[in-house]
Amino acid sequence: MNVSTFLQIIEIIGTFAFAISGIRLASAKKFDWFGAYVVGLTTAIGGGTIRDVLLDLTPFWMTNTMYLTVTGIAMLTVILFGRYLIHLHNTLFVFDTIGLGLFVVVGVQKTLMVGFPFWVAIIMGTITGAAGGVIRDIFINEEPLIFRKDIYALACVAGGFVYFVCDKAGLAPVVSQVLCATAVIMSRIVAVKYHLSLPVLQGEEEYKQHGGDETDSNNPIN
């Protein structure tokens, strides 16, 4: 199996997984079928669209109807089996995590294919994986997951670095892609299982509770 074929398979699976996660959240918010489809499609193509615009490429979904079709299949899956998916409490997390890992691979690989250095590829991989979820959360009026203390975008960065190490070690591209996706998925699972998170910036109330001054003389707003 060549790299382009494997990458397309990853895109299909990732699109389906992300679309499911978006549609599931939309259903929980009582969106109608059209609204749920839009949320699912945006979740699936949002990050890749931003990536392609930044790389000065035609957005991938504008040259291939596959992504619209796969999102439609995801929509039909939720309509037919929604009651079973709802009872699986970890369904959203599983689909979101799988989509995250697979789309990081796509973002890194596509960026390298157009000649950008690895540091750009890692950033684009993170955008491809995480930005669709940000747009999804905005659409359904939720605080974006990437801005909470959960390890989310950092998992994408970790996967990108794994890809970099594998590439420098001379591993086959397919092996590097599999290990990259695995690193992202495992990072998310471990972080959620063991409640790992980044420190949270303290707000005004927290500073007051710790004996801080009510007014910060260095704050130009005061």
Q: How far apart are CA 166 and CA 170, in angstroms?
A: 6
pLDDT attached to residue 16:
94
**Contact status, residue 82 vs residue 88, Cβ threshold 8 Å:** no
222 pLDDT above the threshold of 60: no
Instruction: Classify residue 198 by its DSSP letter.
Output: P
Between helix 118-139 and helix 91-113 the angle, nearest 10°, is 140
96 pLDDT above the threshold of 70: yes
- The closest of 37, 107, 39, 36 to 69, measured between CA atoms, is 37
Sorting pLDDT into bands at 50, 70 and 90, what band is 213? low
- Of 95-109, 164-178, 193-207, the one with minimum mean pLDDT is 193-207
214 pLDDT above the threshold of 70: no
Share of the chain above pLDDT 90, in %: 65
- Of 23-32, 159-168, 212-221, the one with minimum mean pLDDT is 212-221
Taking CA atoms, 144 is separated from 31, 100, 138, in Å, by 18, 14, 7
Q: Which pTM was predicted? A: 0.86
216 pLDDT above the threshold of 60: no
pLDDT attached to residue 156:
96
Rounded to an integer, the average pLDDT of 202-217 is: 60
Which residues 6+ apart lie within 8 Å of 156 measured at CB?
Answer: 100, 104, 125, 126, 129, 130, 184
* Digit-coded pLDDT (tens) for 137-175: 999 999 888 887 678 999 999 999 999 999 999 999 989
Rounded to an integer, the average pLDDT of 9-21 is: 91
